[in-house]
Amino acid sequence: MFSSLTPSEHYRLTGTLRDEDIDALLLAVEEGTDVETAVVKIEEGMSGLYSEDFLCDLMNDMRKLQTNLRGANREAMTALIAKAEDLQQQLFNQGDYGRSELRDALKALGA
């Protein structure tokens, strides 16, 4: 789905690295790439992942707006809020998986 993205772009968008990108990173380390530089890059990448509450302000604003709506408009807003909550959870889960994979990469690097 995101095959045209660079590894950095893919990571920023999904919070995960593709298996081949992790393999390339580990291979680069085995071939003598500066481990310290790799560790710094991995840690920087981890810091950019979404926190669980990254959409909380938006969600609160949507809920406030919802209380002022009636009928079909309220139902439509309720459906939008549910979709946004699902998206928030999916992005957090992907980021959490990415953090886990990057921690494993750090362990493999001996960091």
What does the alpha-carbon distance between residue 79 and residue 98 come to, in Å, rounded to a whole number? Answer: 29
Q: What's the whole-number average pLDDT of the chain?
A: 84
Q: What is the pLDDT of residues 14-24, one digit of tens each?
A: 877 888 888 88
What does the alpha-carbon distance between residue 81 and residue 58 come to, in Å, rounded to a whole number? Answer: 10
What does the alpha-carbon distance between residue 3 and residue 61 come to, in Å, rounded to a whole number? Answer: 35
* Upper half-sphere CA count for residue 109 (Cβ side, 13 Å): 28
pTM of this structure: 0.59
Whole-number CA gyration radius for the chain? 19
